């Protein structure tokens, strides 16, 4: 049996709150399952019978990867019951009931269809990122709720959003907090301020790979140039390690400039 995501323990509470309110803010810790499970919860509750459930993502890779995961969990072919729309690519059909798309795509749709009446639910995921598109969508949702209060549900979700402020913006809508992560998280801090963060990150990653059990290391860098430097340096260091340590480590870059197919690892 697979791991039960924390948000599923709150399914009844979420369903009841959405049923009773036009707008709901959901604050869920990273790893709680909000991106993949909220759409499925509402799909099970019949909201997709009245229209499409839309879930916005701030990045193309997230829209694609999360939609693939949801299609897999539901056991359906991607592009049919579950699909996605990103710039230059629309993998949906007439049968699509759950649609993941970038916030920019939803904004473009609103230009030709201001009421967005093809949707019964609109979920603004990762709203804390506060991009221009996200902020405009928040304003658009407020207008839509006034004109479509009887047939539209809006959910605003985040791991770190100030739910109270968003609630005030939407006339005191309820805020649900979903605690819980899949695994315990231990925070370790460097004892000294690194003089070179790239070299420090490089050394830490290698130490973990050599000394700790098998697993993955995710290194956040400031931009594409530093990512490319890190990949090059890691590959060079790994080649020089003793046989049997971590010579088989796979180093992969991940940033928005990569082609979409290279941003998704199966």
Tens of pLDDT, residues 247-263: 578 899 988 788 766 77
The dihedral through the CA atoms of 138, 141, 146, 152 has a sign that is: negative
CA distance 109 to 21: 25
Band of the pLDDT at 180, cuts 50, 70, 90? confident
pLDDT interval class at 218 (50, 70, 90) = very high
pLDDT confidence of 191, banded at 50, 70, 90?
confident
User: CA 150, 152, 158, 160: dihedral to nearest 10 degrees?
Assistant: -30
Least confident segment among 2-6, 9-13, 65-69, 95-99: 2-6
Please check the confidence at residue 246 and state whether its pLDDT lies above 70: no
Least confident residue range of 20-24, 36-40, 213-217, 246-250: 246-250
Helix axis angle for 197-211 and 224-239, nearest 10°, is 40
For residues 151-158, average pLDDT: 95
pLDDT at res. 1: 43
- Structure confidence at residue 244 as a pLDDT band (50, 70, 90): low
Q: What are phi and psi of 178, to 5 degrees?
A: -115, 100
**Per-domain boundaries in the chain:** 6-178, 197-262
pLDDT value, residue 238: 83
pLDDT value for 265: 58
State yes or no: pLDDT of 233 exceeds 90.
yes
- CATH classification code of 6-178: 3.40.50.300
Whether the Cβ atoms of residue 59 and residue 256 lie closer than 8 Å to each other: yes
Angle at 202 between CA 198 and CA 206, to 5 degrees: 170
Q: Which two tokens stand for residue 175?
A: 């805020």
Q: Are 72 and 45 in contact (CB under 8 A)?
A: no
21, pLDDT greater than 90: yes
Q: Is the pTM of this model over 0.75?
A: yes
Q: Which two tokens stand for residue 85?
A: 């729309």
Give kind and range of the element (H or E) at residue 116.
none
Query: Mean pLDDT for the chain?
Result: 90
């Amino acid at each position: 049996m697979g791991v039960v995501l924390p948000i599923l323990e709150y399914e009844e509470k979420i369903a009841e709150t959405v049923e009773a309110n036009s707008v709901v803010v959901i604050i869920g810790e990273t790893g709680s399952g909000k991106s993949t499970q909220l759409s499925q919860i509402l799909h099970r509750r019949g909201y997709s019978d009245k229209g499409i459930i839309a879930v916005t993502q701030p990045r193309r890779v997230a829209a694609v990867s999360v939609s693939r995961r949801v299609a897999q969990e539901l056991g359906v072919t991607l592009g049919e019951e579950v699909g996605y729309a990103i710039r230059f690519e629309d993998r949906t059909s007439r049968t699509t009931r759950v649609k993941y798309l970038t916030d920019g795509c939803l904004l473009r749709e609103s230009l030709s269809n201001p009421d967005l009446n093809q949707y019964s639910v609109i979920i603004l995921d990762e709203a804390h990122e506060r991009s221009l598109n996200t902020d405009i969508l928040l304003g658009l949702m407020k207008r839509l709720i006034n004109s479509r209060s009887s047939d539209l549900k809006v959910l605003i979700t985040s791991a770190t959003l100030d739910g109270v402020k968003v609630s005030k913006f939407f006339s005191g809508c309820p805020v649900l907090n979903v605690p819980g992560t899949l695994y315990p998280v231990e925070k370790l801090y460097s004892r000294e301020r690194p003089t070179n963060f790239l070299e420090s990150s490089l050394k830490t990653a290698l130490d973990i790979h050599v000394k700790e059990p098998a697993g993955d290391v995710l290194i956040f860098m400031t931009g594409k140039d530093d990512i490319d430097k890190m990949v090059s340096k890691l590959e060079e260091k790994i080649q020089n390690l003793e046989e049997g340590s971590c010579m088989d480590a796979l180093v992969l870059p991940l940033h928005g400039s990569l082609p979409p197919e290279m941003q998704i690892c199966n």
